[in-house]
């Protein structure tokens, strides 16, 4: 074997070795695209024929009412009712047609819990049940407030804004109030 041939063989073997080493990294390292997760603010839960997607509660405070928003899919051939039981006996019901979905948004009837049970930013226990198979489960649902502008329209009517979302009086407003008495 001549010298040129040995050099070509060594280069080929080296390139093959480097190729195998770098290909092995992709084999060992888990692919992020294979990891399923909820890419939203709300939760994902399944209950019998119902699939709950991006479910969350919008409220202005612990002792304030909270509006449930998200989507509920019914894969069964019969109409069912989703019941949500929250803190201190608060509850709401959502009818879902057979083989259809209900979006809990600005175009639907409001699903209101009389109290959230905890402050915005927390997770609260909500018992979910459905009327088709009478299945139930308890899930942890996030409570959000109007800090994010996209949730402001979902605050229940008549709720008092939390301290983080209420406007504070400006110094000029208080000064003008003090000067009015003179």
Element housing 67 (H / E): strand 66-74
Phi, psi of 161 (to 5 degrees): -60, 145
pLDDT of residue 26: 62
pLDDT of residue 170: 42
The percent of the chain in helix, strand and coil, each rounded to the nearest 5, is 25, 35, 40
Q: Which residue has the higher pLDDT, 182 or 86?
A: 86
From 144, 138, 140, 174, select the one nearest 66 (Cα to Cα): 144
| Cβ–Cβ < 8 Å for 150, 56 | no
pLDDT of residue 136: 96
DSSP string, 50-111: EEEEEEEEEESSTTS-EEEEEEEEE-SSS-EEEEEE-GGG-EEEEEE-TTEEEEESTTS--E
Element housing 26 (H / E): helix 3-28
Cα of 76 vs its chain's centroid, Å: 24
* 87-141 residue pLDDT tens: 999 999 999 999 999 999 988 889 999 999 999 999 999 999 999 888 999 999 9
pTM (2 decimals)?
0.70
Pairing of strands 66-74, 80-85: unpaired
From 161, 146, 163, select the one nearest 64 (Cα to Cα): 161
| Cβ–Cβ < 8 Å for 143, 60 | no
41 exposure class (CB count in 10 Å sphere: 0-12, 13-18, 19+): middle
Q: Do you know the residue count of the chain?
A: 182
Provide the 10 A C-beta neighbour count for residue 105: 12
pLDDT of residue 157 exceeding 90, the answer is no
* 142-151 residue pLDDT tens: 999 989 899 9
Q: Which residue has the higher pLDDT, 180 or 114?
A: 114
pLDDT of residue 13: 81
């Amino acid at each position: 074997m001549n010298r040129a041939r040995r050099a070509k063989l060594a280069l080929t073997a080296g390139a093959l070795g480097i190729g195998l080493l770098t290909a092995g990294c992709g084999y060992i390292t888990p692919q992020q695209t294979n990891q399923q997760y909820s890419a939203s603010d709300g939760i994902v839960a399944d209950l019998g024929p119902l699939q709950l997607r991006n479910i969350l509660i919008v409220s202005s405070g612990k002792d304030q009412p909270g509006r449930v928003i998200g989507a509920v899919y019914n894969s069964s051939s019969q109409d069912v009712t989703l019941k949500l039981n929250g803190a201190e006996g608060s509850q709401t019901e959502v009818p879902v047609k057979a083989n259809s979905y209900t979006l809990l948004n600005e175009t639907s009837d409001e699903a209101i819990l009389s109290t959230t049970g905890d402050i915005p930013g927390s997770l609260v226990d909500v018992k979910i049940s459905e009327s088709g198979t009478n299945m139930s489960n308890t899930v942890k649902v996030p409570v959000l407030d109007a800090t994010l502008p996209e949730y402001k329209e979902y605050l229940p009517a008549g709720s008092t804004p939390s301290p983080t979302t209420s406007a504070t009086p400006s110094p000029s407003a208080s000064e003008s109030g003090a000067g009015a008495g003179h």
